Amino acid sequence: MYNGKLDLLQVEALGELLVAETDAQLQQAQRQLSGELGRVARRWADELVKVRSWIEAELDFSDEGDVDAGAFGRARNSVMALRGDVVAVLTGEAHGRRIREGFSVVITGRPNAGKSSLLNALTGRDVAIVSDRPGTTRDVIETTVSLEGWPVVYVDSAGIQESSDPIEQEGIRRALSRSQRADVVVSVFSHDVPELDVVSNGALGTVRVCSKADLGGCAPVGALMVSSQTGQGLELLKLEIIRKLNASGPAEASLVSRERHRRCLVETLECLDRSLAAGLPELAAEDLRGASSALSRLVGQTDLDTVLDSLFEGFCIGK
């Protein structure tokens, strides 16, 4: 809330609240709607105004007795502290984005390993076409569910194999691409379909699944025995996915969940870093103006008049 009105961040959060489908998404939207990120960003902006006023005072009014000759050094210390705060908020960005968009759980394996049947069993509905004919799935199929409050996007993909069919080749390319970008990879194989030689490892790890457990056999060490027909092992598979999601980051909802937020904060950080590397106050001041501009795009507006007001309030200049 700023001047009695919702700021841009809260308006975005209201939109997220209206479309939230899981507990995690709801909690994150509520935290962002509370205006916490806006308050943090305005506090940073106020600190930048103060720091910029110190540097401007040393540049333009160094001959005034009230101006501290060590203002530039004090400004650098404040910028270093501010930089640490920005980094801390940015650290949770990936987690926040996953909560907002859903954690990607990609089911991969060779043709006819039981991937589509597993997707249908996990979601409880006929999402993917199931056939005994290998290579039925040609494109990426997605469906979103709530798994113990976590938003999860299950992804079924084409079977990985050597192929001369251009359409199947494109499906395989997409399957490999999604596996490489997955949060969790579910590698599926069975007694009659061997496991992939090289399995893409998701950001949060891989779960190995030996499917078609209803046909008999034993799972290799480190793999779960699952049957999409009888439901055997499905709950254990879900629990393993949940365990990996729980290890993905702090349970606390993130302040940052949109690419726009990330870009503004990254630009702020880059400007702060350049100001710290600058050898001259003039250069540092210009970079800090860039940091203020990035924060203004995030949540509010900081202009030159604000800096001048701070400068003349803090020093007995021109009196």
**pLDDT tens for the chain, residues 1 to 319:** 555 577 788 888 888 888 888 888 888 888 888 888 888 999 999 999 888 887 877 665 555 555 455 667 788 889 999 999 999 888 888 888 888 888 999 999 888 888 888 988 888 876 655 555 555 555 678 888 888 888 999 998 877 877 667 776 777 778 788 888 889 999 999 888 888 877 778 888 899 999 888 887 777 888 899 998 898 999 999 999 999 988 876 656 678 888 888 999 999 999 999 999 987 888 888 999 999 999 988 875 544 444 344 334 444 545 4
* Domain identity same for 75 and 118: no
- Its pTM stands at 0.69
For residue 299, the model assigns a pLDDT of 78
Cα 231–235–238 angle (5° rounding)? 125
CATH code where residue 216 lies:
3.40.50.300
Q: Which domain holds residue 206?
A: 102-246
Q: Which helix (H) or strand (E) covers residue 286, if one does?
A: helix 281-298
* Domain identity same for 236 and 261: no
* Domain identity same for 217 and 264: no
* Domain identity same for 37 and 88: yes
* Domain identity same for 120 and 184: yes
* Domain identity same for 79 and 109: no
For residue 302, the model assigns a pLDDT of 42
* Domain identity same for 235 and 257: no
50 falls within a domain: yes
Last residue within a domain, chosen from 199, 231, 246: 246
Q: How many domains does the chain have?
A: 2
* Domain identity same for 75 and 122: no
For residue 238, the model assigns a pLDDT of 94
For residue 215, the model assigns a pLDDT of 83
* Domain identity same for 139 and 227: yes
> Per-residue DSSP letters for 16-75?
HHHH--SHHHHHHHHHHHTTHHHHHHHHHHHHHHHHHHHHHHHHH-TTSTTS-TTHHHHH
2 falls within a domain: no
124 falls within a domain: yes
284 falls within a domain: yes
- 32: burial class by Cβ within 10 Å (0-12, 13-18, 19+)? buried
E-only strand ranges, the chain: 103-109, 141-147, 150-156, 184-189, 206-210, 223-225
For residue 303, the model assigns a pLDDT of 45
The 8-class DSSP code of residue 159 comes to P
148 falls within a domain: yes
136 falls within a domain: yes
For residue 314, the model assigns a pLDDT of 43
Cα dihedral sign, 257-263-266-268: negative
For residue 125, the model assigns a pLDDT of 73
Cα 139–182–100 angle (5° rounding)? 100
For residue 4, the model assigns a pLDDT of 59
* Domain identity same for 107 and 60: no
Last residue within a domain, chosen from 246, 266, 294: 246
3 falls within a domain: no
* Domain identity same for 232 and 170: yes
44 falls within a domain: yes
Last residue within a domain, chosen from 193, 228, 246: 246
* Domain identity same for 30 and 137: no
The 8-class DSSP code of residue 201 comes to P
CATH code where residue 306 lies:
1.20.120.430
Asked whether 86 and 295 are in contact (CB, 8 A), the reply is no
In tens, the pLDDT along 241-256 reads 999 988 876 656 678 8
3-state SS class at 157:
coil
